């Protein structure tokens, strides 16, 4: 039986790298992975992680989710060489702290272009083939910030909320009409270079031009959030293992929280239609 062809975006580090390496190293050789990244100058760590699978079950390609021609080029190659595309993992994205009105609209638009519109572009690119073959899996790497808005991550949360709304809307149509299954993955804190870079940046420097009220809320809220992150932190390999389980599942769920604490966070929001509970909890974090 031919291996499943898998396209993964955002594989230079973190969850994308871990997922690509794990699938490529599958002992049963069930996957042929096209691991992509925006800039091939960043491929060294993925090459090291791939080991003996490099250029065998793991192929590295350049793909920028904000540029349609690069997406089309990789999808066309997969179809030309394999005749089908079985799995898309929409992983490319980045996060950044912002304090409501402190970042430029251009900064916000750039994040949305990658974290949301990049997902739409990649999904649209694979759908014609998946519809024709009447099968496929699309994994959307979201965040618990796509379930409940995270203070000072307004644009990042907005992008993930948009991804979740898009995914929830297309999921029943693709399942019932074409046997294509969409699953949303909602991690909490994951130990990656991206997360470390964002959280290690100087809060004082970031907040130096904030008004006094905003600065006080920002410093208290972010410090409290980061202090509790270590106990919740997961490894990228844990998320990669979940991705493999979803791909291999005969009847995957629409949503997956990646740890018990994230399940509880989702439950807390969903149990109260007013979501006042969320505001009350956030108010406590500033005390």
The residues annotated as belonging to the active site are 156
CA diameter of the chain: 63
Burial bucket for residue 236 (CB in 10 Å: 0-12, 13-18, 19+):
buried
Across 21-34, b (16+ Cβ under 10 Å) vs e yields bbbbbbeeebbbbb
With a CB cutoff of 8 Å and minimum separation 6, the contacts of 203 are 218, 219, 222, 223
Q: Residue 107: count other Cβ atoms within 10 Å of its Cβ.
A: 13
CA nearest to 88, candidates 142, 21, 137, 124 = 137
Element (H, E) at 217: helix 212-227
Residue given tokens 């297309």 in the structure block: 170
Q: Is the dihedral of CA 196, 201, 206, 207 positive or negative?
A: positive
Element (H, E) at 160: helix 154-178
């Amino acid at each position: 039986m031919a291996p499943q062809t898998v396209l993964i975006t955002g594989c230079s580090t973190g969850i994308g790298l871990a997922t690509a390496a794990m699938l490529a190293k599958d002992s049963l050789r069930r996957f042929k992975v096209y691991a992509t990244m925006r800039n091939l100058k960043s491929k060294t760590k993925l090459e090291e992680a791939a080991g003996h699978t490099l250029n065998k079950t793991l192929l590295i390609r350049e793909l920028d989710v904000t540029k349609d021609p690069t997406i089309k080029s990789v999808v066309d190659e997969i179809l030309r060489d394999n005749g089908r595309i079985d799995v898309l993992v929409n992983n490319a994205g980045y996060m950044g702290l912002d304090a409501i009105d402190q970042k430029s609209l251009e900064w916000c638009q750039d994040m949305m272009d990658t974290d949301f519109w990049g997902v739409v572009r990649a999904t649209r690119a694979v759908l014609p083939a998946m519809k024709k073959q009447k099968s496929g899996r699309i994994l959307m790497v979201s965040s618990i910030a796509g379930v409940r808005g995270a203070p000072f991550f307004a644009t990042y949360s907005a992008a993930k909320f948009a991804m979740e709304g898009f995914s929830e809307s297309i999921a029943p149509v693709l399942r019932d009409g074409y046997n294509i299954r969409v699953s949303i993955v909602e991690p909490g804190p994951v130990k990656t270079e991206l997360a470390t870079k964002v959280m290690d940046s100087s809060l004082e420097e970031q907040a130096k031009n904030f008004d006094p009220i905003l600065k006080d809320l920002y410093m208290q809220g972010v410090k409290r959030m980061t202090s509790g992150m270590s106990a919740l932190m997961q490894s990228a390999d844990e998320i990669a293992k979940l991705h493999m389980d979803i791909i291999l599942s005969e009847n995957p769920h629409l949503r997956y929280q990646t740890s018990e604490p994230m399940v509880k966070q989702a439950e807390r929001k969903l149990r109260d239609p007013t979501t006042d509970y969320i505001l009350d909890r956030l108010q406590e974090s500033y005390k």
